[in-house]
Amino acid sequence: VAFGFIAWQFISQLVLDGCNVFIANGPIIQQLQAPLSIYIYQTIWRHLIILAHNLLIYVVIALLYGLWPSWQTLLVVPGIILVSINGISIGMLLGTLCARFRDLPPIVQTITQMMFLLTPILWRPNQIPGRELFYLLNPFYYLVEIIRAPLEGRAPSLFVWIVVLAMTAAGFVVSLLFFSRFRN
């Protein structure tokens, strides 16, 4: 559960701060001539630092329960990189939309809170037999799993990697096209 919370905290904060990235930096954006993507990168960097602090929880739990890092634990690094790239895409897409439509951030926050309950963090997928759609169609499941599984000492399945890579590629293309068209 703790490793799922670590991953969820990182992912959900990328989504929520991605919505407000241009709203929160509005006065600076109006005063400085800088690429708008810098504000997204600052948000990602801030949450990577927070994630590094939260990974201290992993160290404590690993010591308490005798979980010794293995080679599979190193897979957390590409997992975090993929989630961060998805955070950039989310910042480009939702940041632009939320800057234009100010009613969207509370809606996204509510949806994110609901997705927490539908994502297997407090429960395991095998606890709901016959209802696999709750997590198989949930993109947050794959993002959490790509970070949580290596922390637990196991490699994420090939299917999880494929889904996350597909989400990353599709999200980056869509958000880049959207951002380049509507950033003004």
What pTM was estimated for this model as a whole? 0.90
**Which residues in the chain show pLDDT less than 50?**
none
Computed over every residue of the chain, the mean pLDDT equals 91
- Supply the angle between the helices 76-100 and 104-118 in degrees, to the nearest 10: 150
pLDDT at 65: 87
pLDDT at 132: 78
The Cα 38–Cα 17 span in angstroms is 14
Residue 27 CB partners (closer than 8 Å, separation 6+):
none
- Virtual torsion, Cα 81, 85, 86, 88, nearest 10 deg: 140
